[in-house]
Amino acid sequence: MARWILLVVAAILAAGAGVYFWSSGQSTRDASTLLALSLPDASGHQEALSQWKGKVLVVNFWATWCAPCREEMPEFVKAQGELGARGLQFVGIAVDEPDKAERFAQEIGVNYPVLIGGYGAIELSRTLGNRVVALPFTIIVDRRGRVAQTHLGPLKPSELRAIVSQLL
């Protein structure tokens, strides 16, 4: 009983954070536009997103000028560390300058690829479902290359875990 109450209260808190309901969108769209992308990392080396096809791919659009983005990233680092071996792959796309993105990524010890999209990347995210064109924006792609979820605003750790564990 107490456990149930705790769960409900946790759900309320998640809702109170104001990021869950308005921002989650379920869809089964094809992620081929996203997977066809190739972007440079901070050192200029091009990385094709298609290399992670077959994994559960979490593509997170972020920027250093977006505090909510920075706040949720340590959770991604944790999840990547724990679930990477089971086929979970995070990829950050920084709507930012390479040096700033790199500095922050190093600061929090990001253990997944961070690609540099610049401001053009946010327009790209619009075509992928980011209607309000804001950050953070996260797209979760299943192993078959379909968009399982798009999400505007920080992902609650519990929500992230729930979605990912269904797909792994």
List interacting residues with other proteins (CB under 8 A): 1-2, 4-5, 8-9, 11-12, 15, 17-22, 63-70, 95, 104, 107, 119, 122, 131-136, 152-154
Q: How far is the CB of 51 from other proteins (least distance, A)?
A: 27
Q: How far is the CB of 134 from other proteins (least distance, A)?
A: 4
Q: Say if CB 147 and CB 31 are below 8 A apart.
A: yes
Q: Please say which residue, 56 or 66, places its beta carbon nearer to other proteins.
A: 66
Q: How far is the CB of 78 from other proteins (least distance, A)?
A: 18
Q: How far is the CB of 157 from other proteins (least distance, A)?
A: 14
Q: Please say which residue, 70 or 161, places its beta carbon nearer to other proteins.
A: 70
- 73/96 Cα distance (integer angstroms): 15
Q: Say if CB 60 and CB 136 are below 8 A apart.
A: yes
- The SS3 assignment for 128 reads coil
Regarding beta strands 147-152 and 24-26, do their DSSP bridges make them parallel or antiparallel, or are they unpaired? antiparallel
**CB-count exposure of residue 136 (10 Å: 0-12, 13-18, 19+):** buried
* Nearest C-alpha neighbor of 133 from the set 115, 148, 120: 120
- The SS3 assignment for 122 reads helix
Q: Please state, as a whole number, how many other Cβ atoms lie within 10 Å of the Cβ of residue 75.
A: 15
Q: How far is the CB of 120 from other proteins (least distance, A)?
A: 11
